[in-house]
A and B are shown apart, each in its own frame.
Chain A
Amino acid sequence: MIRLQNISWHAGDFRLLDVSFNVPAGAYGVLMGRTGCGKTTLLEILCGLRRPSTGRLWIGGRDVTAAPPGQRGIGYVPQDGALFPTMTVREQIAFGPRRQNLAAAARNDLVSELAAATGVAHLLGRLPTDLSGGERQRVALARALAARPSVLLLDEPLAALDEEMHGDMMALLKTTQQQLGLTVLHVTHHRREAAHLTDCLLRMEQGVVTEATDP
């Protein structure tokens, strides 16, 4: 479950005003809005990378308003994947479990399992520079899932993909969410993407979020 209550934030002329919404546990929430309307900022606030000036937020029923990013139980997939430049795919996926002190054997099993599930098992020894856009997004998804989050935050994860990969990745996201029972908040400005994926549609305009029924 993701819940925001009266979240406000501003920098210069840009501001988010009393943003409140709720994505129920196990639902696939899609937040739509034009480029530059503040969707990424909102995700950063959910991640704990920006501190809201007012309001509170809950993730999985826990008030995480003051919690550091690593203690919020979230998996974050930024727009371009933001892979770690000097790490192989294996090291990227193992990063979260390593931080959680997961034993080496269990960590290796988890990496293999997630690499297979996201279709990157044959890429484990590669560096980010040797991956295509679609492969990078898959690795970023596997890396986020490896920390075993309760909530997945996706920032335009399909923006840089071609038509065919777009469809594959949408299917992967939906399957993963259903199999793991994750709560997802997926930010996009694509209507088709939203219509295909969403259980809970939200629209953002001029710093204000409202619930919507039709993408």
Chain B
Amino acid sequence: MKGPVQARWEGWWLTCGGMTAAYLILILGMLAATAVHSSPHELWAALMKREIRYAIWLSLVTCTTTSLLALLLAVPVGFLLSRARFRGRAWLDAALDIPIVLPPMVVGLCLLILFQTRVGRAVEQVMPFTYTVAGVVLAQFVIGASFAVRTMRGTFDNLSSRPEEVAMTLGCTRAEAVWLVTLPAARRGMFAAASIAWARSLGEFGPVLVFAGATRMKTEVLPTTVWLELSVGNLEAAIAVSLLLVMLAILVLVGVKLAGEPL
């Protein structure tokens, strides 16, 4: 009996391994093909274009702003979902995943329509969002924050509440206990949450295009650049920016892995 069972299992593992290898080859193959398509000189020249330098700068500024805002939201919301027990918690948990499951373009359209309502217009009077840099941040934030919340919730789920409670018996309020005991213990999770929001925002295209537009030297971020350059047939520039996006994404991936948080 032992022989056939073992053989069957070996076959199963071979199938799993083969499928994993095929998928990995697909991923690495498409990256390698893109990387060797143009010469380094052409890529560098494309990256030095004034519009693309602006898009790089705007992407870095908006993604960093978005990730910090997402973290500010994700810490209390993740804490609430992880520690509090209340009626409707499962529904709230599901509702906060809506930006993850909605098609990105739809998020942009919904934002655009929201800012056409009476309340939205009133907000625009104070701080314009539609077709502005603030709109880029908001479009990135809606989706990035959802990922950050999920990461922080997982982080708090893995941290016992007991040390926090002991701190309360030693004279802390709940907020002080969280600040002094829980957040230092959650710092890797916070780094991961901010990084994931940052990486997600960096690749955000649909909502930014629909809500903030694709105006060069104004609301053009790197994914918009890829699309704009492709639409005018400038493949070298599109590849150069794509490779830059790939490198930044890999950097974030490595950073999060080194911080020890599961993605």
Q: Are B166 and A78 in contact (CB under 8 A)?
A: yes
Q: Are B167 and A84 in contact (CB under 8 A)?
A: yes
- Which residues of chain B (169-183) have a CB below 8 Å from chain A? 169-173, 180-181
* B162 shortest CB reach to chain A, Å: 4
User: Which residues of the partner chain B approach A144 to less than 8 Å between Cβ atoms?
Assistant: 166, 169
- Within the assembled complex, what's the spacing in Å between the Cα atoms of A47 and B171? 11
User: Which residues of the partner chain B approach A133 to less than 8 Å between Cβ atoms?
Assistant: none
Q: Provide a sorted-by-A list of 18 A–B residue pairs whose CB atoms are within 8 angstroms.
A: A47-B168, A48-B169, A49-B165, A68-B173, A70-B169, A70-B171, A70-B172, A70-B173, A71-B171, A76-B169, A78-B165, A80-B160, A83-B163, A84-B167, A84-B185, A99-B171, A143-B166, A144-B169
Query: Interface digits, B164-205 against A, CB 8 Å rule (1 contact, 0 not)?
Result: 011111111100000011001101000000000000000000
- Within the assembled complex, what's the spacing in Å between the Cα atoms of A144 and B181? 16
Q: Are B172 and A47 in contact (CB under 8 A)?
A: no
Q: Are B162 and A78 in contact (CB under 8 A)?
A: yes
- Within the assembled complex, what's the spacing in Å between the Cα atoms of A160 and B170? 24
Instruction: Tell me which of A44, A100, A143 contacts B171 (CB under 8 A).
Output: A100
Q: Are B165 and A96 in contact (CB under 8 A)?
A: no
- Within the assembled complex, what's the spacing in Å between the Cα atoms of A96 and B185? 19
Q: Chain B's interface: helix, strand, loop or mixed, by majority?
A: helix
User: Which residues of the partner chain A approach B184 to less than 8 Å between Cβ atoms?
Assistant: 85-87
Q: Which residues of B contact A (CB under 8 A)?
A: 159-160, 162-163, 165-173, 180-181, 184-185, 187
* B117 shortest CB reach to chain A, Å: 42
Q: Does A185 contact B (CB under 8 A)?
A: no
- Nearest-CB residue, chain B, relative to A140: B166
Q: Are B168 and A82 in contact (CB under 8 A)?
A: no
User: Which residues of the partner chain A approach B173 to less than 8 Å between Cβ atoms?
Assistant: 68, 70
Q: Which 9 A-B pairs have the closest CB atoms?
A: A99-B171, A82-B162, A70-B171, A96-B170, A85-B185, A86-B184, A69-B168, A76-B169, A69-B169
- Are A80 and B162 CB-contacts (below 8 A) given A85-B185, A86-B185? yes
User: Which residues of the partner chain A approach B185 to less than 8 Å between Cβ atoms?
Assistant: 84-86
Q: Does A147 contact B (CB under 8 A)?
A: yes
- Within the assembled complex, what's the spacing in Å between the Cα atoms of A153 and B81? 29
User: Which residues of the partner chain B approach A72 to less than 8 Å between Cβ atoms?
Assistant: 169
Q: Does A95 contact B (CB under 8 A)?
A: yes
